[in-house]
């Protein structure tokens, strides 16, 4: 009997651009009734690369996964595996493209039998099978669970078995859908650590689909952000954190949003924003100057660690700093830091060191002045790339719906 | 009541040959009927359970109607079909064990199909999708799906067997309760009770109960696998 095997993956990261992408989607569209689930989604994963698709619940992730795995035919657009259109019954794609579905169900039996499943499908001889199963279980730190009935495993253990069941196949492309979902924080952190080593050890390409920015930014070389069924930004984690294309993405990268504000004008490359309570802030524009007509509503995003707290009163003239006096509404210790919730005209969140908080004598109900450098505030036209709700406003061409990387903007 | 029980046991011991003949015929007829019912009902249940085709809802409704088929009515239709003037009258099958198998198969098939359907649908579709995503072809993935449904599939066998071995209406009509030829446990119990031979009726009733019990034990073993007791004794996680 001939042995059917997946094509050998290339060696890690020596893949050249000349090679066909390991997996490539072009213009994927999908609708249920009149609701668009995916709109012209394009992405590519090169051989050996680790890529993440980051999107909130309801952004179309699960549908995208089904189409990329060929579990369902794309009604619009194409999926190519190693340059060939993905045909549901083509063995090469079936065996070289492996997916770990969200809440992947384990099959009845032992952990080892589950990990052996795909190897049986590929008719890997018994001896090699046993060796690879053992290696995969050890790789996920669960060698001791090999003989256990899967019904007796904890949630974290189940997910480790599910990951081992996929990685043991050493596929050309491994697709992981929400590998860390439904786990408690500590279990999840340990799992992701082991997952990262497993992914980096493997020679194939990996696509991680997740709602968790930490998963995407720590595991992936490149990240696609999926919003409302379309790719709203794409780049390296560093690029996206430095220059989030929408307020939503800014929030994903840990920024906080101040929603209220209207454009007063553009001055020396900064947007002047009239904030609630009569204050005027300066912020870095997050898109072209043409999009800043006077009186247009804007969102301002900032990172809590960029907010400096000082004694109230005193000099308010330092121009490049945005300033507002607020009331301390809440104090939450966070390691060596204190997260300060501030209420007032412009509600803010600040992250200050514990020493700093002590020196200021911060207490709930007390007054404090918050400073934010203009370069640490980013202004987004309201409605651009929609914040959590609804469809993107018509006419606001995002210019990136086809998955092309946004050019880095001068900062 | 207790006295009847004692007399029944006495009858069982003293008339073991006669009782055995009836019991064996019952098992043969109902066993064959369930086998045929499985042959038809299992594929139909699986197809309707996992398939996507027009008319699927109608098929589900038809199967559920089959659950409620009164044995007497099925017996009546088979009787009409097999009677001298019926369309299959030339086969001269009426009042033979074959006729009884035909009638009970018609009762067993919807049972098996219905319980198979429920068992197959109880397995989340993600099982088959995950199997496919690990490289299984559609047939292999379906086998994986059915393996996850094996508890329910075992139940289909037992429920089908339980339904036909205990029914009396159909076998009475098409078998005729001819001694030594088509007399099975249920028809014999009816006859003996009517004749006032309570001991014989109770004896057969006890055997029927014992068979039901044995089949259920077998099913439990089948579902949980050997050593299931040892495994459940170990603490989880």
Q: Is the Cβ of A62 closer than 8 Å to some Cβ of chain B?
A: no
Question: Alpha helix locations (H) across chain B?
Answer: 2-14, 16-50, 56-67, 71-82, 97-122, 125-133, 138-148, 150-165, 169-175, 185-195, 198-224, 228-233
**A105 → closest Cβ in B127, B137, B138:** B127
Query: Which of A104, A119, A174, A207 to mutate: most B Cβ within 10 Å?
Result: A104
Upper half-sphere CA count for residue A165 (Cβ side, 13 Å) = 33
pLDDT over 50 at B164, yes or no: yes
Asked if the C-beta of A261 comes within 8 angstroms of chain B's C-beta atoms, the answer is no
Q: How many CB atoms lie within 10 A of CB B193?
A: 15
Would you say B66 and B58 are in contact if contact means Cβ atoms under 8 Å apart?
A: no
- Give the separation between CA A289 and CA A229, rounded to whole angstroms: 27
Residues of chain A in contact with residue B136, where contact means CB-CB under 8 angstroms, are: 117-118, 121
Give the whole-angstrom CA distance, residue B123 versus residue A388.
34
Confidence of residue B169 (pLDDT cuts 50, 70, 90): very high
A352-358 long-range contacts, Cβ below 8 Å, gap at least 24?
A352/A307, A352/A308, A352/A309, A356/A309, A357/A331
Averaged pLDDT for residues B140-146: 94
pLDDT of residue B230: 38
pLDDT at A289 (0 to 100) = 62
In this structure, what DSSP letter does residue B226 have?
A: T
Buried b (16+ CB within 10 A) or exposed e, A2-40: eeeebeebbeeeebeeeeebbbbbbbbbbeeeeebbbbb
Q: Two tokens at B15? A: 């008339």
**Spatial separation of the C-alpha atoms in residues A5 and A149, rounded to whole Å:** 28
Residue A106: pLDDT band with limits 50, 70, 90: very high
What is the band of A287 on the pLDDT scale with cuts at 50, 70, 90? Answer: confident
- Count of other CB atoms within 10 angstroms of residue A388: 11
In chain B, where the domains are located: 2-224
Q: Does residue A297 carry a pLDDT above 80? A: yes
Angle at B48 between CA B43 and CA B54, to 5 degrees: 130
Mean pLDDT of chain B: 87
**Which residues in chain A (135-174) have CB-CB distances under 8 A to chain B?**
149, 151-154, 157, 165-166, 169
Nearest CB among B126, B134, B148 relative to A108 is that of: B148
DSSP character string of B18-79: HHHHHHHHHHHHHHHHHHHHHHHHHHHHHHHHH---TTHHHHHHHHHHHHT--HHHHHHHHH
Q: Give A149's contacts in chain B (Cβ within 8 Å).
A: 231
* Test the A interface: residue of B119, B127, B130 with most A CBs within 10 Å: B130
Among the listed residues A366, A369, A321, A363, the one whose alpha carbon sits nearest the alpha carbon of residue A345: A369
Q: What is the mean pLDDT of residues A227-237?
A: 92
Digit-coded pLDDT (tens) for A141-173: 999 999 999 999 998 899 999 999 999 999 999
Residue A75 DSSP one-character state: S
> Residue A75 and residue A110: Cα distance in Å, rounded?
38
What integer pLDDT is reported at residue A19 of this predicted model? 77
β strands within A97-181, DSSP E? 97-100, 173-177
pLDDT of A393 reads 33
Q: Do A101 and B234 touch (CB under 8 A)?
A: no
Q: Could you tell me if A102 and A177 are in contact, meaning their C-beta atoms sit under 8 angstroms apart?
A: yes
SS (H, E, C) A368-400: EEEEEEHHHCEEEECCCCCCCCCCCCCCCCCCC
Q: Is the dihedral of CA A290, A296, A302, A306 positive or negative?
A: positive
- Which pLDDT tens digit goes with each residue over A334-378? 888 999 999 998 899 999 999 988 888 899 999 999 999 888 899
Q: Does the pLDDT at position B237 exceed 60?
A: no
Task: Report chain B residues whose CB lies below 8 A from the CB of A154.
Answer: 237
Exposure on the CB side of residue A41, measured as CA atoms within 13 A:
31
A276 vs A24: which has the higher pLDDT: A24
Which residue, chain included where needed, has tokens 């669970």?
A145
Number of neighbours of residue A278 by Cβ within 10 angstroms: 7
Could you tell me if residue A109 is left (phi over 0), alpha (psi between -120 and 50 degrees) or otherwise beta? left
What does the alpha-carbon distance between residue B167 and residue B30 come to, in Å, rounded to a whole number?
10
Percent of chain A with pLDDT over 90: 46
pLDDT in tens, A367-408: 999 999 888 899 988 864 444 333 333 333 333 333 333 333
Q: How far apart are CA A355 and CA A358, in angstroms?
A: 5
Nearest of A3, A4, A6 to residue A166 by alpha carbon: A6
pTM of the model: 0.76
* Alpha-carbon distance values, B158 to B17, B111, B147, B213 (Å): 27, 10, 17, 11
> How many whole angstroms separate alpha carbon A216 and alpha carbon A233?
13
User: Of B181 and A291, which is predicted with more confidence?
Assistant: B181
Q: Does B135 lie at the interface with A, CB-CB under 8 angstroms?
A: yes
Predicted local distance difference test score (pLDDT) of residue A315: 60
Rounded CA gap, B196 and B189, in Å? 10
Residue A38 host element (H or E):
strand A35-45
Question: Is A340 in CB contact (< 8 Å) with chain B?
Answer: no
pLDDT tens digit string along B21-56?
A: 999 999 999 999 999 999 999 999 999 998 888 989
Burial class (CB in 10 A: 0-12, 13-18, 19+), A77: middle
pLDDT digits (tens, 9 = 90+) for B206-233: 999 998 888 778 767 766 654 444 333 3
What is d(CA A400, CA B48) in angstroms, rounded to the nearest whole number?
44
| Domain B2-224: top CATH class | mainly alpha
A66-80, A94-108, A384-398, B171-185: segment of lowest average pLDDT: A384-398
- In eight-state DSSP terms, residue A101 is -
Distance CA A262, CA A293 (A): 10
- Matching residue, tokens 């008719």: A123
- On whether the CB atoms of residues A137 and A143 are closer than 8 A, the answer is yes
CA distance linking residue A359 with residue A343, whole number of Å: 20
Does residue A331 carry a pLDDT above 90?
Answer: yes
- Percent of chain A's residues with pLDDT above 70: 85
Q: A384 with A396: CB under 8 angstroms?
A: yes
Interchain proximity B126–A104, CB inside 8 Å? yes
What is the distance between the alpha carbons of residues B120 and B143, in angstroms, rounded to a whole number? Answer: 11
Q: What is the pLDDT at residue B159?
A: 83
- The answer to whether residues B159 and B99 touch, using CB atoms and an 8 Å cutoff, is no
Residue B202 class from Cβ within 10 Å (0-12 exposed, 13-18 middle, 19+ buried)? buried
- Name the residue among B125, B113, B115, B109 with its Cα closest to residue B36: B109
| Bridge partners for A79 per DSSP | A25
> In this model, does residue B236 exceed pLDDT 60?
no
CB–CB contact A107 B234 (8 Å): no
> Is B219 in a helix, a strand, or coil?
helix
Query: Nearest-CA residue of chain A relative to B133?
Result: A99
pLDDT of residue A114: 97
In chain B, what is the greatest distance between 2 CA atoms, to the nearest angstrom? 68
Residue A266 has pLDDT above 80, yes or no: yes
Residue contact A69–B132, C-beta within 8 A: yes
Lowest mean pLDDT segment, chosen from A178-182, B94-98, B142-146: A178-182
Q: How many residues does chain B have?
A: 237
Q: What is the mean pLDDT of chain A?
A: 83
Q: What does the pLDDT look like over A185-208, one tens digit per residue? A: 888 888 888 888 888 887 889 999
Domains of chain A by start residue, with CATH: 23-242 (3.40.50.300), 248-381 (2.40.50.100)
């Amino acid at each position: 009997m001939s042995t059917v095997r997946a094509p050998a993956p290339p060696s890690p990261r020596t893949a050249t651009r000349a090679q066909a992408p390991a997996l490539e989607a072009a213009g994927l569209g999908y609708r249920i009734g009149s609701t668009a689930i995916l709109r012209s989604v394009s992405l590519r994963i090169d051989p050996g690369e680790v890529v993440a698709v980051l999107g909130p619940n309801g952004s179309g992730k699960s549908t995208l996964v089904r189409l990329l795995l060929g579990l369902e035919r794309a009604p619009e657009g194409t999926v190519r595996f190693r340059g060939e259109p993905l045909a549901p019954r083509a063995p090469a794609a079936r065996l070289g493209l492996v997916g770990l579905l969200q809440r992947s169900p384990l099959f009845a039996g032992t952990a080892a039998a589950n990990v052996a499943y795909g190897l049986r499908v590929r008719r890997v001889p018994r001896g090699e099978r046993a060796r690879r199963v053992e290696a995969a279980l050890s790789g996920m730190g669960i060698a001791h669970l090999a003989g256990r009935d899967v019904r007796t495993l904890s949630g974290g253990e189940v997910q480790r078995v599910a990951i081992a069941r996929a990685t043991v196949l050493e596929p050309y492309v491994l697709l992981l859908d929400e590998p860390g979902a439904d786990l408690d924080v500590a279990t999840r952190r340990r799992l992701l650590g082991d997952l990262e080593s497993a992914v980096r050890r493997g020679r194939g390409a990996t696509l991680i689909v997740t709602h968790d920015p930490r998963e995407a930014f720590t595991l992936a070389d490149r990240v696609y952000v999926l919003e409302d069924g379309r790719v709203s930004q794409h780049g390296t984690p560093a690029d996206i954190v430095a220059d989030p294309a929408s307020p939503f993405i800014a929030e994903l990268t840990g920024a906080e949003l101040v929603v209220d504000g209207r454009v007063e004008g553009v001055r020396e490359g900064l947007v002047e924003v009239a904030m609630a309570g009569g204050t005027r802030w300066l912020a870095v524009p997050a898109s072209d100057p043409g999009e800043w007509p006077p009186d247009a509503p804007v969102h301002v995003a900032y990172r809590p660690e960029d907010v400096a707290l000082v004694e109230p009163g005193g000099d308010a003239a330092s121009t490049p700093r945005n300033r507002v006096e607020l009331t301390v509404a809440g104090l939450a210790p966070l390691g060596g830091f204190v997260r300060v919730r501030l209420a007032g005209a412009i509600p803010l969140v600040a992250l200050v060191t514990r020493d700093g908080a002590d020196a200021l004598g911060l207490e709930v109900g007390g007054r404090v002045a918050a400073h934010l450098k203009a370069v640490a505030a980013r202004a987004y036209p309201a409605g651009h790339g929609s914040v959590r709700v609804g469809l993107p406003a018509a006419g606001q061409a995002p210019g990136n719906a086809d998955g092309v990387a946004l050019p880095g903007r001068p900062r | 009541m207790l006295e009847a029980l004692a007399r029944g046991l006495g009858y069982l011991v003293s008339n073991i040959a006669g009782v055995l003949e009836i019991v064996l015929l019952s098992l043969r007829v109902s066993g064959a009927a369930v086998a045929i019912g499985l042959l038809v009902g299992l594929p139909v249940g699986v197809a309707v359970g996992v398939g996507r085709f027009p008319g699927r809802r109608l098929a589900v409704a038809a199967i559920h109607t089959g659950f409620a088929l009164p044995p007497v009515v099925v017996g009546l239709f088979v009787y009409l079909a097999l009677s001298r003037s019926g369309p299959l009258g030339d086969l001269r099958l009426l009042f033979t064990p074959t006729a009884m198998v035909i009638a009970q198969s018609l009762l067993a098939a919807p049972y098996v199909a219905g319980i198979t359907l429920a068992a197959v649908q109880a397995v989340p579709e993600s099982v088959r999708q995950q199997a496919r995503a690990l490289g299984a072809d559609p047939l292999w993935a379906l086998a994986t799906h059915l393996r996850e449904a094996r508890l329910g599939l075992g139940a289909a066998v037992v429920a089908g067997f339980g339904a036909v071995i205990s029914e009396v209406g159909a076998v009475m009509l098409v078998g005729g309760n001819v001694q030594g030829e088509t007399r099975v446990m249920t028809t014999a119990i009816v006859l003996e009770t009517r004749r006032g031979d309570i001991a014989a009726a109770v004896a057969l009733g006890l055997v029927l109960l014992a068979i039901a019990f044995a089949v259920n034990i077998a099913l439990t073993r089948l579902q949980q696998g050997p050593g299931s007791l040892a495994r459940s004794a170990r603490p989880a996680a």
